[in-house]
């Protein structure tokens, strides 16, 4: 495994701008930003670099000490997990508001950790440092940095201080020989996506609760299994459009679909106790349309006493006729049953989606096929993920549906394209003279 890089954790009470600062430092829109307090709930990871010093950055949910409600309590647990691994902590406060009791409680908790802490005062002009209210210094943190996360001013000065003790990377550092396999976990709210992420990573990485819609951001985690690095992304539960009224939930759908497009492999999680429903097919369609390799995971199977897997799988096949290439697995994210076997299957469908077949092999394969509809001169593969092929025939226009289906099935069988869609493009080419 590569040597661990330093971790910087951003903490603060709700709605002070933590996600905006996270996005500013990482240079991408990784965390959801909005005016509703409490949008971020899980901890969100990203990788950042400042002056050649690379580090992991963690955005935590808004923390309120001593809040007895379930979700705030779980947010605190997630933050404490991140803080235990922190090399440096950034406490973010709202410079346009008075210091609150939660700010003071949080500062006191951080000081007891004995780790380096910087106080970032957001939403102020860094040139007005002398104008900072004395109460910010009363929090007992010596290193205070005014900034605007939205506009980026003052952020470099903060990072100069935060990363000052971090080692710079060697300019000739070798990159990993094999890319990470990016896996998006998708499904309706409350089908067990976060529980599955926790089971795959072996830790309580995402907040799990019976409240539908607990996950809002896409929560990710890197792990190495048998020498292969996997990046698992737990996306927010995708609801029907008519049911996404809150701004945060609407943004969650957008972010979830974006993470599907960026993934190599998608795990579609179904709830065995509820059966297959129409919105499951809609969500599966997002992955299929994006050309992602796909595994259908039937979760909570431990609760299905007396139901045969063959019968349930037939229900799945009848509903998802367009996903006939996707393997179906039965598991329990809660007990861990069936979860370890997912790693091998994920790698298998990833390799299938990434497979390239030479033109020579393809045309030897084509010699064994006969089409009455038209003459096919040759076939070539032009891209992967999904495997995409150009077919040159004696006339333009797509193949008849039945012939295209037959050709796709034969390609899948001959070259083991399990778990991935296959794309065919027909091109006209007159006979050689």
Closest CA to 213 of 191, 181, 233: 191
Residue 2 lies in a domain: no
**Do 341 and 369 fall within a single domain?**
no
**Do 260 and 149 fall within a single domain?**
no
CATH number for 135 = 3.40.50.300
Residue 294 lies in a domain: yes
Residue 77 lies in a domain: yes
- Which residues, at least 6 apart from 272, have a Cβ–Cβ distance to it below 8 Å? 298, 299, 300, 301, 303, 304, 307, 312, 330
Q: What is the bridge-based pairing of β-strands 88-94 and 7-11?
A: parallel
User: Would you say 116 and 94 are in contact if contact means Cβ atoms under 8 Å apart?
Assistant: no
Give residue-wise pLDDT tens across range 178-203. 678 999 999 888 899 889 998 998 86
Residue 167 lies in a domain: no
pLDDT band at 72 (very low <50, low <70, confident <90, very high): very low
The three-class DSSP label of residue 388 is strand
The three-class DSSP label of residue 218 is coil
349 vs 354: CA distance, rounded Å = 8
User: Would you say 263 and 174 are in contact if contact means Cβ atoms under 8 Å apart?
Assistant: no
Q: What is the DSSP letter of 14?
A: T
Three-state SS string over 124-152 comes to CCHHHHHHCCHHHHCCCCCCEEECCCCCC
Give residue-wise pLDDT tens across range 210-249. 433 433 344 577 888 888 989 888 776 665 555 445 554 5
Domain end marker among 133, 162, 191 = 162
Q: Is the pLDDT of residue 2 over 50?
A: no
Span 56-84, average pLDDT: 59
Structure tokens at 180: 């990470």
Residue 176 lies in a domain: no
**Do 81 and 158 fall within a single domain?**
yes
Which residues on adjacent β-strands are paired with residue 183? 232, 265
**Do 70 and 210 fall within a single domain?**
no
Cβ neighbours of 426 (radius 10 Å): 17
For the ranges 5-9, 132-136, 196-200, 340-344, the lowest mean pLDDT is seen at: 132-136
For the ranges 22-31, 271-280, 411-420, the lowest mean pLDDT is seen at: 22-31
Model pLDDT, residue 73: 42
**Do 343 and 293 fall within a single domain?**
yes
User: Domain containing 416: what range?
Assistant: 359-428
**Integer distance in angstroms from the first to the last C-alpha of the chain?**
58
For the ranges 69-73, 145-149, 150-154, 426-430, the lowest mean pLDDT is seen at: 69-73
Task: Give me the chain's average pLDDT, please.
Answer: 80
Which long-range CB contacts under 8 A does 341-347 form with residues at least 24 apart?
A: 342/200, 342/267, 342/295, 342/297, 343/200, 343/225, 343/226, 343/228, 343/230, 345/295, 345/419, 346/181, 346/183, 346/230, 346/265, 346/267, 346/295, 347/181, 347/228
Span 58-84, average pLDDT: 57
Model pLDDT, residue 40: 39
367 vs 423: CA distance, rounded Å = 20
Q: Is the pLDDT of residue 302 over 50?
A: yes
pLDDT band at 140 (very low <50, low <70, confident <90, very high): very high
Residue 418 lies in a domain: yes
User: Would you say 272 and 298 are in contact if contact means Cβ atoms under 8 Å apart?
Assistant: yes
Structure tokens at 313: 């799988």
Domains identified in the chain, total number = 3
367 vs 212: CA distance, rounded Å = 54
Q: Which residue has the higher pLDDT, 195 or 171?
A: 195
**Do 13 and 85 fall within a single domain?**
yes
Model pLDDT, residue 298: 98
**Do 222 and 367 fall within a single domain?**
no
Span 280-302, average pLDDT: 90
Model pLDDT, residue 34: 39
**Do 340 and 409 fall within a single domain?**
no
Residue 300 lies in a domain: yes
Q: Is the pLDDT of residue 283 over 60?
A: yes
Model pLDDT, residue 45: 74
CATH number for 417 = 3.30.300.20
The 376-383 sheet, strands edge to edge: 376-383, 388-393, 423-428
Residue 169 lies in a domain: no
Model pLDDT, residue 244: 46
Q: Is the pLDDT of residue 174 over 80?
A: no
- Which residues, at least 6 apart from 305, have a Cβ–Cβ distance to it below 8 Å? none
Give residue-wise pLDDT tens across range 9-55. 999 888 888 888 998 898 765 444 334 344 333 457 778 888 888 89
Domain end marker among 327, 353, 379 = 353
């Amino acid at each position: 495994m590569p040597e661990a890089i330093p971790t910087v954790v951003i903490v603060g009470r709700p709605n002070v701008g933590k996600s905006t600062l996270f996005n500013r430092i990482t240079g991408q829109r990784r965390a959801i930003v909005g005016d509703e307090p409490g949008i971020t709930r899980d901890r969100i990871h990203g990788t950042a670099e400042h002056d050649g010093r690379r580090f992991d950055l963690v955005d935590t949910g808004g923390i309120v000490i001593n809040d007895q409600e379930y979700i705030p309590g779980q947010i605190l647990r997630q933050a404490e997990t991140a803080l235990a691994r922190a090399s440096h902590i950034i406490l973010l406060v709202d410079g346009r508001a008075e210091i609150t009791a939660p700010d003071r409680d949080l500062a006191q908790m951080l000081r007891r950790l004995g780790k380096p802490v910087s106080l970032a005062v957001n939403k102020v002009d860094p040139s007005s440092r002398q104008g900072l209210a004395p109460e910010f210094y009363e929090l007992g943190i010596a290193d205070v940095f005014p900034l605007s996360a939205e506009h980026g001013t003052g952020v470099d000065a903060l990072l100069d201080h935060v990363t000052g003790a971090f080692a710079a990377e060697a300019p000739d550092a070798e990159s990993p020989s094999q890319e990470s396999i990016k896996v998006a976990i998708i499904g309706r709210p409350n089908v067990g996506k976060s529980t599955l992420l926790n089971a795959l990573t072996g830790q309580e990485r995402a907040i799990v609760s019976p409240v539908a819609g607990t996950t809002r951001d896409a929560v990710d985690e890197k792990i190495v299994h048998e020498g292969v690095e996997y990046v698992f992304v737990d996306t927010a539960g995708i609801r029907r459009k008519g049911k996404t009224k809150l701004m945060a939930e609407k943004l969650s759908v957008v972010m979830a679909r974006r993470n599907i497009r960026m993934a190599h492999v998608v795990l579609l999680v179904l709830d065995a106790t509820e059966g297959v429903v129409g919105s499951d097919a809609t969500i599966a369609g997002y992955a299929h349309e994006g050309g992602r390799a796909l595994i259908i995971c039937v979760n909570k199977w431990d609760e299905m006493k007396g139901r045969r897997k063959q019968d349930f799988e037939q229900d799945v096949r009848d509903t998802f006729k367009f996903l006939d290439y996707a393997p179906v697995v039965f598991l329990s994210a809660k007990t861990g049953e069936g979860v370890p076997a997912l790693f091998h299957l994920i790698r298998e469908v990833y390799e299938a989606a990434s497979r390239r077949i030479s033109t020579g092999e393809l045309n030897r394969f084509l010699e064994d096929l006969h089409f009455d509809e038209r003459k096919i001169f040759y076939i070539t593969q032009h891209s992967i993920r999904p495997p995409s092929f150009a077919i040159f025939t004696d006339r333009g226009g797509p193949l008849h549906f039945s012939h295209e289906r037959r050709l796709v099935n034969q390609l899948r069988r001959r070259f083991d394209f399990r778990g991935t869609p296959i794309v065919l493009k027909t091109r006209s080419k007159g006979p050689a003279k």
